Each structure stands twice: as structure tokens, then as C-alpha cells.
Structure 1
Amino acid sequence: MQEKELKYIAEHYQTPCFIFDLEAVKERVKKMREIVGGAYHLCYSIKANPFLIPTMAEITDKLEVCSPGELSICKALRVEPTKILYSGVNKTEVDVTDAMEYGVIHYTAESLLHMDIVNRIAGKYQKKVEILPRLNAGSQFGMSKEDLFSIYANEENYPNVIVKGIHYFAGTQRKKNDKQIKELDMLLELIKEIQTTFNRKVEQIEYGPGLSVPLFEGDDFSDTLKPLENIHEKLKELSQVVDLTIEMGRFYSTFCGTYITRAMDCKSNEGVNYCIVDGGMNHLNYYGQMMGMKVPHIQHLHACDDRAEMNWCLCGSLCTTADVLVRDVTLQGLHEGDYLAFNNCGAYSVTEGIHLFLSRTMPLILLRTAENEYIVARQMQESYPINTIQNY
């Protein structure tokens, strides 16, 4: 966004605040569709930013929901249940029952236990639902190849579910695309092995490529869609064998987000210039940031005409030495009352922050629908009631 508009937001709404540009995320998905060319489907992992759910429900093919709370958000927003893929670990009978009653028909299974739970609850409601067993990729998620094959070998034990294929996700922010290429080759071979061993077709693959996005100074912002372009041909090859969906969160939403915070106190201690802002690490989080050593893209919104360059350590309002947003950044004429707009924070930051620490106020959240048109998605909220003994 232009500095003029950011300054308008800062002055007419409270800081700290997040702004999520819905037009920007729509344009990004449109460009992704142009690359995909209809060869495979797009799924949005709502954990990346639940405030984008209504928009992403319109412009992507599926929404991945990974917790009972996320399902409750979808219910509150009246998301079409058939568009939901109910994923995530630790699915209980209560969770699956809630999803089943809402009308969710697409599930993943992290284990044989999940297979049993979904099958049992579906039978209770006399439903036939679709399920994708998740293949382990070297972490706590998913099941072994042996367990996966035991499902295919004993499908008669799950009469209330249709095993549609495989769910596979290995990690996020993976910059070397040869990893995704190897995984896609592995999935192609696995499909052949299942077809040969069990004489049955694998119909669907839900694949999370974990494509990377640039975030800091020194990263390449020249073509942020390049990672998708790099693996498109291999995705297309897989899509000719199965009904393929790629599942992502960060890759869609990163660039739609801006966080505005106000400079409250500027001072020098032992040769270091410190600026205390009204936000902090309880709100703002970048994947890969370590104690503020990396510099994200920041727009400095001046309150005066001073342009003298100085190096600053930007710190938040928490009473901890860990609350350093940027350890060392050069800014021109920074003064109390100036605003700093941190860009590219549309993914995860709004929910990953340690909001309850020190009982600070939670930030305002705006949705930008067009230039100078905004919806207040959430007013500022106090966190202290959550940290207060309720029966004292």
C-alpha cells in the first residue's frame, strides 16, 4: 500500500493494527490460477490467516481446517461444509462428530486410530465420507507406509469411508524446489505401487509443497510466484494420473498483510539508539526471524520533515529483552509519533504472536476491500481478562 493510505489508516484507526488487503490476495490467487491453468486444484490452509476465510472460500477450491476451533470459525462464517477438508492431529470422537453434524464429508487420517474414529462416527450417522490417509514425511504427522498399506489391504474394515488417496505434506518455507520434485516423483511411484499391489486406483492426492516466500532484506522479491512456476510441470505430470490438489497457506497470504505500530519513545543507551513502539513481538512474527537480526520491509511514515539517518534498534512494549523487532535498521529522522508499517506479514503473524504475555492489548484488525475502504474485522481486545482468576 502507498504511504499516504497507510498514514490515513494509522491516524484514523488505532495502532497497533493489522491490515489485510483482500484485493491483493485475490490478485495473487488469480495469477496462480494462470500458472496452474486448471491442471490441479488450490486449497487454502486457514491456519495461515483465519481472517481471510470468506475471501479464500470464494477464490480457492478447498479450505483445510486443522482444529475444532478452526471448524467453529468456519461454522460462524457459514462456510460451505463440502468445501472443508478436516485435517489435523488429535481428532477425537467429539471433534469428528461435530464436523459430521455440520456436513463435512472430506477428512484426513493421521493414524489408524483416526481411520477407526471417522469410520465409526460416519456409521453412526449412516453416512459415507471420503478420507485421505496422511503419509508420514519424517515428523510426528501422518502414518507409516506400512500403516497406509494396511488400510488399502483391509478396506472392508472401513465400510463407512471411501479411501480416496493420499495426503502428503513435509514442511514449510522450503527454498530448494528439488525437494518438491523428489517428493512428487515419490508420489508417482507410490501410486503405481498401490495400483499394482492392491489392484485399485488412487483417485486423489492432497499435496502441500511448502513453497517459500521472501521476507527479509537480501531475499529475492523479483518474482514471488517463481517457486510455483518451477514445479508446475511436475505437478501437471502428477495431475494427469490423479485428481491433484495443492495445499498452502503462507504462499497465498504473506504479501497481503501490513502491521502498523507507532514510535512511542526514542532514546540512546551506551551508543545504541532504541525506539520503543506500541506493538511488539506479541503481535508481529516473521518465519525465520531470530531476536530481530533480520530486517523485514518497513515503510517509515514520518510525522515531521527531519531526514537525518540513524541506526535504530526497534523494540516492542513487552518487559522482556526478547522483544526486539529489528536489532539494527537505518531510518531517516525517526521521532516519537512516527509510524512504522511492517510489510509481508499476512501469514501466521496475526495468530502466532504471544498475545497473552504481559496482558497487553490485542491489535485492531482491518480488511482492506479497496483503496480507502475497510472493514473492522476485530476491534482491539484486552487480554487481561483471560489472565485473571475467574472465581476469586
Structure 2
Amino acid sequence: MDIDYRVVEIAQKEGTPLYIFDVVTLKKRIDQIKNILGDKIKLCYSIKANPFLIPVIANIVDKLEVCSPGELNICENIGTRKIDMARIIYSGVNKTYENISAAFKVQVGEYTAESIQQVELINKVASENNLIVPVYLRLNIGSQFGMSEDDIMYVIKRKNVFNHINIVGLHYFVGTQRKNDSYEKQKNELNYLHNLYDKIDEKFEYKLKKLEYGPGFPVPLYNTDDFSDTLYPLKSLEKVFKDVSSWTELTVEMGRFIVSECGCYITKLMDKKTNDGVNYAIFDGGINHVNYYGQIMGMKTPIIFHYDKNLNLVDDEKVENWKICGSLCTINDDLVRSYKTSNMNIGDYFVFCNIGAYSVTEGIYLFLSRTLPKIVIYEGDGKYCVVRDFIETSILNTPTYSN
């Protein structure tokens, strides 16, 4: 695995901690995914994985999944790079009348319904606007999301009552980082959905035209993971997906699988010490910024590149054991419990790789009122733009009184 050394030059110039998202890597990844899916299968990006990449991704995928009023606001206010709202599928387990009305106002293209109440609400708002809107019924998979098969049957049976929605298909998403042999679980799910579509057609003489499916493919993150072919999960289901596209219009919805490898997080060594025989390296970042799926107390080691303050890649005998810690006042701030090197110096940079998904929004950012990291979009050949500067969080943690 390689990294463009110029991202460290950016860190030296702009300051740390910061996230850098590489557009060249991202576009290459999307091209590879679309080549495997082919022309008939659509690709949807779930923006909760990383909303800062929306301007880059919006026009090279078929859809954007939005899961909250806040995410919809981001798409509305993205700046000069306008988003085609018709490409949005508005999802989310909690939708209010006001949320749905706001989505109608900006002409969102499609909606999911996660309960009978949501069906009623979407139908009500559509009726008030004299529209018929496309809706996916989300199928429950044993969690708080979606509705039961019985509820779906209830809605379809009464489709003439809900006469301002067009039930176009089902939305099905189980989870993320789903590792299983030959991806048999996904194959079984798609077979089950095929049978369910046939059952609905037979029972109600109603053919669902579309399927929004999230496979929850895993991505490698740690130094013990296999990085030899990060597209392997998708390749394993290539034929199955193409078979599905023969009986319905398939959209594959993904987030982490698309953007994980395009991002890195760079933090600088601020202090080092040895206490009771343990070597501690204190960085200006921390677990408030870095959140790898499955990481607990720094027990796993992600892919890290170590550069000295002169931006030389450090490659040494790795004989000393160091605990990599952040700047938070908690003993839990272990980025890596055990990192081996023989050359750790104040001013060094650590580049944490495969951090394009979730960390940028999922961290415990308000804890201890530390500064939010700067965010950079890297366009290759040393070109980049800052899309968010450092932000002080203290204002959000400061109580205000009216008297």
C-alpha cells in the first residue's frame, strides 16, 4: 500500500491534526466499482459515510442516500457545486411531517418508508402538494429499522388508499463490515427478496420495479487484514447482482466500501516519555478524531506511515515498543496500544490510512473542547483545497444564560 508523500507536505503547511481526502483515489475506486456493476446496475452513495465528499461524488454516482434533515441541509447548501436533488433518496428511521415537507420543497427524488406511519405521512404531504412520489418500503431485518413483511403486505394491499405514493420497490440493508465466506448471506438475502417480489406479484398482481440493496461489504483496515484485492467482495457477487438486474432495477447502496481508502488522518508527535518501562508518544490528535470500525482501546494496528519532521519516511528496525496516545485527558485515548519503531522524535508525523469513512463525523468531537481538525480535499499533483478550517468547539460547550 502506497501513499502520496505530498499529503505530509500539506500537513506541514496547513497544520495538524487534519483529514485529507484524495479525489484521484476516490474516482479510481468508483470507476472500478461501476465497471464491475455494469451499465444496468445503479450505484448509490450513502452520504453519512463522509458528507465532505458529496461535491466530488454527486455527479459520478446515480444516487445519494440522505438519512436526516441535517444531511438534506448539507446537500442544499453545498456551495457553488449544486446537487441535483432528484438524485436523492431520502431515508431515515425517524421522519416527521416537517421533515417530509422540507424534502418535498427542494424536490427530493425518492423516499423510503420505514413504518406504516411514514407511509401515511409521505402520502399526506404528497396529497397536499398534488403529487405522486416514488417510495421504497424498507424491510425489517431484526432491528429498529424498517417494517415487517406483514406490514409491507398491508401497505401494498391498500396501495389504492395511499394514492399519492408510487410503491416502486423495497429497501433492504442489514449492516456494515459483513465478512462471510463467499458472501453467502448476501446471496441468500437476494434470493429471499426475489421470492418476496414474486409473492407480492402473485398475491396482489403488483410488480415491484426496483430494489435498493445495501450489501454491507467489508473493507480492510488493520495491518493483519488482507489488502490484496479490496474489491473482492463486490466481485464475488458480480454475477448475482447481474442476475438480480434481470428481474428488477437494482441499485447497490454503499458508503464505507466506496470512500474508506481515499482518506487519511495526519497527526503530529508533541511529546514522548517513559513511565514504568512503558514508552508513551503523545500526539496532537486522538480517539476523538480516529474511529476505525472494530477498534477497541487501540488493540489493533491500522496502516500507518511514519514521517520525520523533515518529511522523510521512517523505515527502521522497529525494536522499541510505543503506546500511541492522543491529547485527551483520559487513559482511554489509545490510538494504538503497541507500535514498534526505534526512531520516535517530537515533530514526527503519523499518517493513519483508510480513514475516508465515518471518522470525520463519528468521533467524540466535543469531549474536552478540543479543536476540530482541518479538512483538505487533495486533487493530485500537489493541488488541494481546504474545505473546512480548524474550528474551536469550546463555544458549543459554553453555557449561556438569558438573565
**2:210 pairs with 194, 200, 204, which one?**
204
Could you say which residue in structure 1 is the equivalent of 2:18? 17
Deviation at residue 308 of structure 1 after TM alignment: 5.9
Residue 44 (str. 1) matches residue 48 (str. 2):
no
Instruction: State how far apart, in whole Å, the 2-side matches of 1:238 and 1:308 are.
Output: 51
**1:130 pairs with 114, 134, 138, which one?**
134
Could you say which residue in structure 2 is the equivalent of 1:67? 68
**1:83 pairs with 83, 87, 94, which one?**
87
User: Does the Cα contact within 8 Å between 1:262 and 1:337 map onto a contact in 2?
Assistant: yes
User: Does the Cα contact within 8 Å between 1:3 and 1:299 map onto a contact in 2?
Assistant: no
SS in 2 for 1:157: coil
Q: TM-score, normalised by structure 2?
A: 0.95
Deviations 1:289-336 (A, max 9, x none): 010000000000113788463111000100011111000011240111
Deviation at residue 7 of structure 1 after TM alignment: 2.5
User: Does the Cα contact within 8 Å between 1:300 and 1:331 map onto a contact in 2?
Assistant: no
Deviation at residue 391 of structure 1 after TM alignment: 2.4
Deviation at residue 119 of structure 1 after TM alignment: 0.4
Deviations 1:218-276 (A, max 9, x none): 10000000000001111111110001101010000000000000000111111111001
Deviations 1:336-364 (A, max 9, x none): 10000000000001000000000000000
Structure 1 residue runs of 5 or longer lacking an equivalent are none
User: Does the Cα contact within 8 Å between 2:279 and 2:322 map onto a contact in 1?
Assistant: yes
Residue 358 (str. 1) matches residue 368 (str. 2):
yes
SS in 2 for 1:262: strand
* Equivalent residue runs for 1:1-392 within 5 Å: 2=3, 4-77=5-78, 78-176=82-180, 177-303=183-309, 307=316, 309=318, 310-391=320-401
Aligned letter for 2:11? A
Deviation at residue 3 of structure 1 after TM alignment: 5.6
Aligned letter for 1:11? Q
User: Does the Cα contact within 8 Å between 2:36 and 2:235 map onto a contact in 1?
Assistant: yes
User: Runs (4+) of structure 1 moved beyond 4 Å?
Assistant: 304-308
Aligned letter for 1:151? V
SS in 2 for 1:58: coil
Aligned letter for 2:232? K
User: Does the Cα contact within 8 Å between 1:3 and 1:301 map onto a contact in 2?
Assistant: no
Q: TM-score, normalised by structure 1?
A: 0.98
For these two proteins, the number of residue pairs brought into alignment is 392
